Every structure is written in structure tokens, then in C-alpha cells.
Amino acid sequence: MTAKVSSFTIQMNSEVKHELKEVCDKEGYKLNKFIEKAVINELTRRQMQNDYLTYANYMVNEKATVVELDGFARSIGVKTGKACGAKA
């Protein structure tokens, strides 16, 4: 399946644009692909940062209160094992 392409206009510092164009020309990138890759990298970095913060919060605040799932299930009368695809 092919991703839809969308276009929009951006404004940036002319010196930055000039440097960006030089890098793209020198390294053989198309400007739009370079910018798209940079945006994807930044979005990925932010998601990883958010995931890390979630994990760090868990380790500091929640880890001590976590209970083992099978033990909890048994305590409320739920059978675990084959029905869930797990090995008993």
C-alpha cells in the first residue's frame, strides 16, 4: 500500500535554507525527502523520550505496587493456563 503524499509550505531562516540546500545538493538528497526523514527522526526521538519517562516513572512510583498477574487471577477465581495460551 502506498502512503498518501501531502504538501504544505514552511518558512525558515534563509541561512538555514541555504545550508540545507547545500547539504542536499552535495549528498544527493531531494530536499523534501531530507526534511521528511528529519521529521520522522525527531518524532521517533520524542516518542522514545516519552517511553523512557513513562518507564522511569514506573520504576520510581509503581514498581513496588505491581502484583504478579497469574497470582492475582487465581485470587479472584480466574483460571489461568490453556485458555489464555499460556503453559500452566
Counts of helices then strands in the chain (DSSP H, E):
3, 0
Q: Which of 32-36, 48-52, 75-79 has the lowest mean pLDDT?
A: 75-79
How far does CA 11 lie from the centroid of its chain? Answer: 27
Q: What is the pTM of this model?
A: 0.61
The pLDDT, as a whole number, for residue 1 is: 64
Report how far apart, in Å, the C-alpha atoms of 63 and of each of 8, 54, 57, 67, 87 are: 45, 12, 9, 9, 25
The pLDDT, as a whole number, for residue 8 is: 87
| Domain definitions of the chain by residue range | 14-82
Indicate whether 11 pLDDT > 70.
Answer: yes
